[in-house]
Every structure is written in C-alpha cells, then in structure tokens.
Amino acid sequence: MDHDSTTVVVSSSSETMDVLAGVLRFGKSLRNRKGVLIAYLLVAMVSGGAYFVVADRVYQSDGDLMVLPTGANVMDTNSGQPQMVDRDMPTYERMVKSDPVIRATIKSLPSEHHRDLLGMEPANWENSFRQRLSVSTARDTNIMTVSYRSGDPETAYAVLSTLFTKYVAYVNGVYERDIDDRLEIFRRNQNGLEQRIAEKERRYFELLNDTPLLLGDENEHTNVYVERVKSLNANLIQAGEDRLKAQVMLTALEEAIDKGEDLQQFYMAMAENVGAELFRNQMGVSTSDGYGVRRLRDTILDDRTKLENLRAEGYLANHPRIKDLQAGIANREQELRNLPALVKEAADTVTRTELAPKLQAMARQRYDIAVDSERQIRQQYDAESAEAARLNQQLVTFQQVKSELDSLRQNREVILSTMGKILLDQEHGLFTEITRDPRIVRRPVAPRLPLVTVASLFLGFTAACVTIYLLDLLDDRFRTPDDLRSQLGAPILAMVQRLAPLGEQGLDALHTYSRPNSPESEAFRTLRTALDFTGDGTRRLTISSTEPSDGKTTILANLSVAFAQSGKRTLLIDGDMRRPGLTRLFERGGHAGLSTVLRDARPVADCADEVIVATDMDNLDVMPAGPRPANPVELLTNERLSDLIAWAETNYDQILIDAPPSLAVTDAAIIGRLVDGAILTVRPDKNRRKLVLRASEALTSLGCELLGVVINSVEPRANKEYGYGYGYGHAAYGHGDEDGEEPTSEISRAEPAKTVETGSTIGIPRDRSNRRKRKRRAA
C-alpha cells in the first residue's frame, strides 16, 4: 500500500513538472517570437479602437418593481406570504416578458419611440423587444430589476415607463381573474362531490339495513355467523375425537373377544358399576353373597361356642354331640372357603355367555352415536360457513362503500378549506408597486472603452498564442535546449560557442591546445567533466552527428586534448573512413591507419603500434583512418575492430572514436555498439528536428547508449545571463568545407560556454548521478 501511494505521488509530481516545463517552453517561444505577439496586440488594439469609434451607442434605462401580497410585511420572515411570493418570483419575471405585456406596451408607445422597431416586420416586433429587455431578482427579495436597451436614451425611458404601467395592470387583472377562475373550478368540483356523496350514503344505508350484521360501533362491524362458525368448529373437533375413541374401543373389544382375552379393562371403560360388580365376582367377593358369608361365619362362631361349652361341661371328644358340632364346623368352613371360587366360576360363565355380547353391542352403539353426532355437526358447520362467507362478501362491499364515502367527505372538506383560503386571499390581494422609477441616462452602456480595451488585448493575445503555437508545430527546428532535451530524452552535456578560426593544422588548430585558458576551451573541459561524472563506463566513446559539417570532428579533437591535459593517456581514432576529417586535421592523409589494422592478418598488438602517431602533446596519440576501403561497413563488422578496442583499452585510459554521421551510413551505429556510449553533435541552426530524431534512433537501434548531446555553434545573445540566453540564427552560418568541419567566425562576445542544468550543475542527468551514488554506497 505504501509503495502504491509513493508511486502515485511520484507520478503526480512528474506530471506537474511536465506541465510546468511545457508552460516554460511556451513562454520561451513567446519571448523568441515577441514580434508576432506585439504585432497581434497592435492589430487587436487598432481593431478595437475602430470598433469603439464606429459602433452604435446603446443606452439603458432601468427601474425596480416590488410584488407583495396586501397586508404582508416584506421583512417578516415568519410570514408565509413573502416566502410564497419569493417562490413565485420566477413566474412574475416571465410575465414581464410575456406577449400580452409586450404587445400592450408596443401598442401604447408613441410613434416617435418606435425607432428600435423600424425596418422590421410587425411579426418580429415582440421578439426584438424581448431581446432588448432584461429582468432579474435579487436573492431572497421580492423586488425585480427591469432594464431596457435602446439606441436613444429617451426611447429607453419611455418604453420602460410604459412597460411598468402595463405590467402592473396585467398582473392585477391576472390575479383577480385567477381567483375567480379557481373559485369557479372548486365550486364545480364541490357540486360533483355532493352528488356522489349523496349516492354513496344511499348505498351505504341500504347495505346497512339489508345485511345481518353484529354492529359494534360506527367504525367497526362484525358478522354474527362468524362467531357461530367458530363454536361449531370447536364442537366438530370434539365430535371427531369422540368418534375416534369409540371406533378404537370397538375394534379393540372385538379383537379381545375373538382371542378370548380378559375383558376387565372394557368392563371398567364401558360401564363402571357393572364392571366393578363383575370384578368382585371374579375375585369371589360379590356383593350378593355378602349376607350368606356373614351368616355362615356367625353359625360357625355359634357352633364353636357350643363346642367349648360342651367341653367345659365335661363332654369327651367321642361324644356324639361333640362330633356333630365338629363335623358341622368343618363343613361350614369348607363351604366358606369354596364360596369365592364358586362365585368367580359363575361370573366367568356370565361373562362368556351374556356380558361379552352386551359389551360389544354397547361399544358399537356408542360408536354409531359418535359417528352420527359428528355428521350432524359437520352438516351444520358447512351450512353456517357458507352463510358466513356470503355475509363476509357483503361486509367487504359495505366497508368499501363506507371507505369511498369517507374519502369523498374528506375531499369535500379539502375543497371547502381551499375555497376559504382563496376567499381570504381575495380579501388581501396582490400588491405591485414601482419602487424605483425609470430614468433617462444619456451615458451609453455599450460600447465601453475599458471593456473594448480588455477584450481587444485578450483576443490579440489569444490569437498570438495560437499563431505562435502553430508556428512552433510547423517549425522543424529545436528552438530551445529544453526542447531538444525533452524530445531526445538525453541530457545536454555541453553548449559550445562558435569557434574563431585559428588558421593552423594539427594541435595548433585546436583551442584547447593553442588557447587552453580561453573561454572557448572551458566548454570542452566542462564536457570532459560531464562525461567523467556520467558513470564508470565512459572510457570508450564515439561521436557522431546528424549531417556533415556539424563540427563533430572539431569537438572530439578538442575533447581529446582536454582528456590528455587531465593526465589520461588518450587515443584518438578516426573511424570515418569515408570522409576522414580527423586524418586531414592531423595531416596524416595517405598513411596507414585504421583500415590497415582491420585488414591486416597479424595480431592487433603487432600492427596497431605501427599506425599510431604520437602527437606533440603528452598522453595524446592519434590513429588515422588509413587508405579508404571499398566497403567500410565490412571492415567495421569484422571482429578485428573489437579486438583493436580491447587492445587499446589495455594501453590507454581514454579511447575516442570519430564516427561518420549516423543518418548517412550505419558506421556510427556499428561502432557505437562496441563502445561504452556515444555523443551526438547537434547544430540547432542547421539540423532539422526530424533528422536529429532519426539520427538518435539510428544510433540506439543496434544497442548503442546515447550518453548525451553537445550543442555546437551557439551564439550568446546580448543582455542575457550567460548560459541561458542562447538563440539560433540563420544568416551567420554557412556550409562547411569538404573535410566535414564547420565554418568559423569571430564571436560577438568572448564568454565561456556552459551546460544547461538537467538535474545537476554540469548537465548530468539525475538518474545517472543517483546510480553513481548508489554504487559508491554499495562499495
């Protein structure tokens, strides 16, 4: 996220800098072509003055109208009337320009004030009048400012005065007619509503009388059948449950009888009394035998008492009376013990033979009763439900009629309320008053001298800017160093003034050797310093140009002397085997040189020393071009050239190769891919923009790195800060001689050339300087 934000900030800053650079470049174009700018401004001012003299004078009369309801206070912000008028002010403004008002104004004007309408068709009078009329309203006020323009001040005054009179009459009439029209509309609507309300009330009472409803209050009505349906629904649910229980009981009883199972649970469920009696009989304790059991027990107790008495009287055990009593007690006790079993056996017999069929019949009867009860309740429920549904539909119709009736009554109330407000507004009315009367103003509003002057200057300046911009687009030369740098994408390494001819050959023809302390030599030392700070890989350099006679040979020769003066062992190689200007400069024509080494089969180290010429200056050697080959490209593409450069790199600190112009042949691009970088010489007064761009592309097409540009033959302007005020002329430059050197002449002022700042004080681009610093930090 931070990286993205940084990228956005950098991109925005770059775009801002590009815009500022473009503005500055255009400002320089304006300065360079200030004659065009001045000419346009003069033409514009003359045209504006002529217009001011011959233009028809226009006079204006204006006044104010206030529109306010009667009885309202314009300063009362709590009142609704001023806000209502403020909301309607656009309507009142449009009414000022309405056809009835304009038509009435024109009709009432005297004929002498028709001068603005002369020469027009009557059908166009209203449009012409409307175009001369303007209306505006200040914010949060009820006051309109109306103005009229005319060629005569008295006509403007007369038109506006008549317009105010007709407008006031028209607005008041429209307001009164509007109230009457609205009242008539509401009265018609009221009559229609009364008829519809009467019809709905009749229908409402008919439904109320014909529908059996349970009336709660005026706003709520309930269907009586709905309550009955609810009760029947509860009964139907209970009957269904009873029928289901009876069915389950009958089914279970029939299965128990078929399987011979115990029926006690059914006794208890079917008939509580009978079931309890049968249960006691099953247990041998039937209530019908209770008296007999008690009697047996009493008899046994009496016999035991008699037995004890007899024993007490002394009867023995074998006595007949004792034996009879004992036998009677034993029989009765046995009878008492057998009585429950007998009772149970009798109950089982009754159950199998009599009670089971009865229980089955009772269960079936109970089931049939439950089914019949459910059927009857369902029939009653269905009938009541149908009746309730029918009555519900009637209830919906009733409620709909009642809702429509209520809506109509509400509409009637709204209409009555609105009519009351309209009648109240009729009592108040609308107040329209002229708060500022029109006046005769004899000072014209158009044309105005300040406005004409400003407009003329603006139009002249705009036309001049457009013309200069088009001229810059059509001009195929670089007007400024910034323009050259931005389009080539390479820094300006140095700007060299026009060099005065020294009339010598060899080292004596070079300013850096003959005049080392002159201002002209300072430009080459600046170029040397710029190359030293460009990067570590600048030991092997080549130089090229766009066209012949651009001065590349002279610049490279002076640069070699500057390197040698700094203590570097420098080798200067003439790589232009087609037009060897460097060879002619050092008077080595016809001697062995570069072409000899490239064609020699011996090792480079053996043959290179034979062709290198030592100059009169320490640390500077020269390798001439040698005999001109038939096809220099074939020699340059041979591996011998790279071997030669590698050998030279082991014996010299700086290697400089003079290459042909890059547009003429491909020799410069071939040499450029074998060295660390190339320098392009440009003469803005001579080289065309497209040719320079093509030359740059030709150098970089085969992988050569363009280190920068040297601007040659620059003439400093007078009265400008040195190094910034250079211009490029035409007449002061001629064509060069056949050896490729530029013509020279005396400079107008002996000042040292300086580089243009491109991110550092000596023309080094920021990216290279930053890369050099990073390398040092890494080391």
Q: What does the pLDDT average to over 500-527?
A: 86
CA distance 407 to 312: 117
Q: Is residue 82's pLDDT more than 60?
A: no
**Residue 647: closest CA among 611, 679, 691, 695:** 611
pLDDT of res. 646: 93
Question: pLDDT-based confidence at 266, cuts 50/70/90?
Answer: low
Give the residue carrying structure tokens 């540009």. Answer: 709
pLDDT of res. 117: 86
- Hey, which residues does 147 pair with through a beta bridge? 62, 134
Give the residue carrying structure tokens 């087609």. Answer: 578
Question: pLDDT-based confidence at 580, cuts 50/70/90?
Answer: very high
* pTM score of the predicted model: 0.45
pLDDT of res. 296: 76
Residue with the larger pLDDT of the pair 179 and 651:
651
Q: What does the pLDDT average to over 82-107?
A: 81
**Backbone dihedral angles phi then psi of residue 121, each to the nearest 5 degrees:** -70, 140
* DSSP strand pairing (430-436 vs 613-614): unpaired
pLDDT of res. 417: 81
pLDDT of res. 304: 81
pLDDT of res. 68: 76
Listed range (410-419, 422-431, 518-527) with the worst mean pLDDT? 422-431
CA distance 701 to 694: 10
pLDDT of res. 200: 80
**pLDDT digit string, tens, across residues 205-229:** 777 676 655 445 555 566 566 777 7
pLDDT of res. 570: 95
Residue with the larger pLDDT of the pair 472 and 720:
472
Give the residue carrying structure tokens 């001439």. Answer: 624
**Residue 90: closest CA among 137, 44, 35:** 137
**Residue 544: closest CA among 385, 444, 672:** 672
pLDDT of res. 269: 65
Helix axes 125-132, 99-108, angle to 10 degrees: 100
CA distance 438 to 624: 97
Query: For the sheet containing 59-69, what is the strand order?
Result: 133-137, 143-150, 59-69, 430-436
pLDDT of res. 733: 30
pLDDT of res. 263: 66
Please name the residues in contact with 653: beta carbons below 8 A apart, sequence gap of 6 or more: 539, 563, 568, 569, 570
**pLDDT digit string, tens, across residues 345-392:** 666 665 556 667 777 778 788 888 888 888 888 888 788 777 777 777
**SS3 per-residue string spanning 440-506:** CCCCCCECCHHHHHHHHHHHHHHHHHHHHHHHHHHCCCCCCHHHHHHHHCCCEEEEEECCCCCCCCH
Give the residue carrying structure tokens 């001229």. Answer: 471
Q: Is residue 734's pLDDT more than 60?
A: no
Q: Is residue 776's pLDDT more than 90?
A: no
Please name the residues in contact with 144: beta carbons below 8 A apart, sequence gap of 6 or more: 64, 65, 66, 67, 89, 92, 93, 96, 135, 136, 137
Q: Is residue 168's pLDDT more than 50?
A: yes
pLDDT of res. 387: 72
Q: Is residue 194's pLDDT more than 80?
A: yes
Residue percentage of the chain with pLDDT more than 70: 76
Listed range (8-17, 163-172, 326-335, 532-541) with the worst mean pLDDT? 8-17
pLDDT of res. 11: 61
Q: Is residue 536's pLDDT more than 80?
A: no
Residue 714 CB-half CA count within 13 A? 30
**pLDDT digit string, tens, across residues 475-498:** 777 777 887 888 888 899 998 988
**pLDDT digit string, tens, across residues 95-148:** 888 998 999 999 999 888 888 888 888 888 889 899 999 999 888 788 899 999
Question: pLDDT-based confidence at 761, cuts 50/70/90?
Answer: very low
Q: What does the pLDDT average to over 315-327?
A: 79
**Residue 464: closest CA among 25, 61, 42, 136:** 42
pLDDT of res. 356: 72
Q: Is residue 540's pLDDT more than 90?
A: yes
- In the structure, how many helices (H) and strands (E) does the chain have? 25, 15
User: Following DSSP, what letter does each residue of 382-401 receive, concatenated?
Assistant: HHHHHHHHHHHHHHHHHHHH
Q: Is residue 758's pLDDT more than 50?
A: no
Q: What does the pLDDT average to over 293-311?
A: 79
Question: pLDDT-based confidence at 732, cuts 50/70/90?
Answer: very low
**pLDDT digit string, tens, across residues 617-648:** 999 999 999 999 988 998 898 899 999 999 99
Among 58-62, 253-257, 468-472, 712-716, the range with the most confident prediction by mean pLDDT is: 58-62
The radius of gyration of the chain's CA atoms, rounded to the nearest angstrom, is 65
CA distance 456 to 767: 47
Whether a cis peptide bond, with omega within 30° of 0, leads into 320 is no
Please name the residues in contact with 171: beta carbons below 8 A apart, sequence gap of 6 or more: 67, 92, 95, 430, 432
Question: pLDDT-based confidence at 457, cuts 50/70/90?
Answer: very high
pLDDT of res. 620: 94
Q: Is residue 75's pLDDT more than 60?
A: no
pLDDT of res. 690: 86
* Coil, helix or strand at residue 732: coil
Residue with the larger pLDDT of the pair 566 and 479:
566
